[in-house]
Amino acid sequence: MKRTPSVVLGLCSYTHDSSAALLVGGELIGFVEEERLSEQKHTKAYPARAVAWLLDQAKLTAADVDAVAYNFRPARYLAESPAALRLALSPATRDRALARAHGFAKVAVRTQRRLRLIGRQFPAARVAPVLHHRAHQLTAFAASGWDEAAVLVVDSLGERQTTTIARGHDTLRPRTRTLEAINDPASLGYVYGAVTEHLGWRRGDEEGTVMALAALGDPARFRHLFAQAVRTTATGFHIDPAYFPARTLTSGYERTSRRFIAETCPERHPSEPLAEVHRDLAAAVQERTEQVMVHLTRRARVLTGSRRLCVGGGVATNCVSIGRIIEAGVFDEVFVPPAPGDAGTAIGASLAVHVDGRSPRPVAGVARTCYLGPSYEDQPLDLTSWPGLHQKTLGIETAEFLADQLARGTIVGLFQGAVEAGPRALGNRSILASPLEPGVVERLNATVKFREPFRPFAPMVLAERAVEFFTLGQQAPYMSMASGVTDKVREQVPAIVHANGTSRLQTVTRSQNPFMHAVLAAFGRRTGVPVLINTSLNVKGKPICGTPEMALDCLADSGLDALLLEGRWITK
């Protein structure tokens, strides 16, 4: 009889955004992205540091691991190889048929080889590949804490799938059943990534920059093009290869066509200035993404009959699209997990193996949690390597002290507690600033984050007072939803409003983050506005600071005024 795994290690590795999660007896011990420990943003390396930390947390060794859950199934890639030859039947796709067949076969073989490499590190474990979209589904649904919901996953590619609609059920033993799937080359993530690259930014990293730029453009200029290039159907959407040729998974093949270039603009070099055509192109791809996402949401409502929706996959990080879904009112409530992208599939993969093993133990520690990584409380701090920095230990009124500093206009890095899961800083690895300070957005972009001047900054607000400032109509704990704002915001804190009239909101409850809740309340008492600017503790091109050393480097090398690191006030 097969032994039921009690120690399950979930991995996202060798592609991008490497991470690891550990379930012991169904309880999530922790989760962390490797970049937070290695300082290599979007690293695809095996998450050695993450795995070592997790095993140490559980007081286990590699020999104690019963199963390793991997977030891809190589055989599913192989299935696309012969199917790719159908492209040879059409003149529009004929030139990519063989390259696509070869590329998918190559990835299947390479993934299988990676599974064998992983297996050698865990002598008592079986290595269990999990369908990529199933891992996404379980991550999103289990994190919601709901007993039943529709689950929509939209990304670039998982084996063959790019979009799935499923129904999730059972909080204690979460399961999902896929009701409909869309396969590559119909991929919304692929299109958005292609336009990101065309506009001169890094695909897979800077799609958020395109989303921000979109607010400054006019989508009408290229609206017809994207309506043709990304056509909705009764059950989903279709990509026109005349604009976005089918992917091959091999290098040397462009993601946009000559026709796309002729009808839009030449590819922009990162050093070139932004022109009106670039802003309009960003606006058009963003608008079409929002339209297709709402269309898919309506389809999910029909297929599942559910009143609640969970959204996962890389496209779920497009907070403006999530805001549009909420505005559409198709579902009573919408949920996006803290780590909706590939990194989060380490959690979903481990859940799949635990549930499939028919363990009698319920899942615990996954629902409504985001602070899942390493913490460094009560550790000594040596500033020898940073001779220009000075520290003092604060007393018990730390929240009041921080609120007072922020109210005076100080820009502060905050490093406290466990590292957040996912791409957003949620109050434990944050840069905080007063939205009332004149020129704060310009200063943050130019001297602290070193990024484009049009990039907006997200607000965090006391959850119980969010309705005074934002029109979202539901909680947004993980900064994954763009909300409209009230007149009060426009009058008192316009710095947090982007050019499209929205803010990427984080609502903070006392139970989620007691310290940040106390800081917001204290800031509100001083200023009348319980709202702060919250951006991630890093500079452009670097990952969020997962270790004290990374945070100290960020303070020393940027325009931050101070760093609050586990009760220590550090200044230059």
pLDDT band at 2 (very low <50, low <70, confident <90, very high): very low
Q: What is the pLDDT of residues 225-274, one digit of tens each?
A: 999 999 999 999 999 999 999 999 988 899 999 999 999 999 999 999 99
Residue 467, number of CB atoms within 10 A of its CB: 13
Q: Is the pLDDT of residue 394 over 70?
A: yes
Tell me what pLDDT residue 87 has. 85
- Residue 390's φ and ψ, nearest 5 degrees, are -135, 145
What's the alpha-carbon Rg for the chain, to the nearest Å?
23
Q: What is the pLDDT of residues 476-511, one digit of tens each?
A: 999 999 999 999 999 999 999 999 999 999 999 999
Q: Is the pLDDT of residue 4 over 70?
A: no
**Residue 543 near residue 365, CB atoms below 8 Å:** no
What percentage of the chain reaches a pLDDT higher than 70?
Answer: 99
**C-alpha–C-alpha distance, residues 395 and 130, integer Å:** 48
Tell me what pLDDT residue 67 has. 97
- What are residue 166's DSSP bridge partners? 151, 178
Poorest-pLDDT segment among 22-26, 140-144, 273-277, 452-456 = 452-456
pLDDT averaged over every residue in the chain = 96
Residue with tokens 């730390």, as numbered in its chain: 398
Closest Cα to residue 139, out of 342, 403, 410?
Answer: 342
Tell me what pLDDT residue 1 has. 37
Q: Which token pair is 482?
A: 């763009």
**C-alpha–C-alpha distance, residues 237 and 255, integer Å:** 18
Residue 82, number of CB atoms within 10 A of its CB: 11
Dihedral of CA 138/144/147/152: which sign?
Answer: negative
Q: Which token pair is 517?
A: 């809740």
Mean local confidence (pLDDT), 32-57: 97
What percentage of the chain reaches a pLDDT higher than 90?
Answer: 93
Tell me what pLDDT residue 3 has. 54
**Residue 88 near residue 64, CB atoms below 8 Å:** no
Pairing mode, strands 19-24 and 27-33: antiparallel
3-state secondary structure of 444: helix
Residue 270 CA from chain centroid, whole number: 24
**C-alpha–C-alpha distance, residues 170 and 133, integer Å:** 18
Tell me what pLDDT residue 85 has. 82
Dihedral of CA 455/456/460/463: which sign?
Answer: negative
Mean local confidence (pLDDT), 433-449: 94
The C-alpha angle 173, 175, 180, rounded to 5 degrees, equals 175
Residue 499, number of CB atoms within 10 A of its CB: 13
From residue 436, how far is each of 91, 440, 445, 491, 494 by CA, in Å? 58, 8, 16, 11, 8
Q: Is the pLDDT of residue 22 over 80?
A: yes
Q: What's 5's DSSP letter?
A: P
Mean local confidence (pLDDT), 13-19: 96
Tell me what pLDDT residue 395 has. 81
* Burial of 91: CB neighbours in 10 Å, binned 0-12, 13-18, 19+: exposed
Residue 520, number of CB atoms within 10 A of its CB: 27
